[in-house]
Amino acid sequence: MSQIEGKVAVVTGASSGIGAAIVRTLSEAGADVILTARRRGHLADLAASLPGRSAILDADISASDTPARLLALAQEKFGRADVLVNNAGIIAAGSIDTVDLDALSHMTRVNFDAVVRASYVFARAFKSQGSGTIINVSSIGAYLISKRMGVYGALKHALEAFSSSLRIELAGTGVKVGTVAPGTTRTEIFDHMAAPGTQSAVTEGTPLEPADVAAAVLFMIEQPERVNIARLAMFAATDAY
Q: Cβ neighbours of residue 34 under 8 Å, at least 6 residues apart?
A: 8, 9, 10, 11, 54, 55, 56, 57, 70, 73, 74, 77, 81
Cα angle value 41/45/46 (rounded, 5°): 115
Per the document, the length of the chain is 241
Q: Give the distance between the most distant pair of CA atoms in the chain.
A: 54
**120, 143, 152, 241: the active-site residue:** 152
* Residue 192 amino acid letter: H
For the four alpha carbons of 208, 213, 216 and 222, in that order, the dihedral sign comes to negative
For the question of residue 241 being annotated catalytic, the response is no
Residues carrying an active site annotation:
152
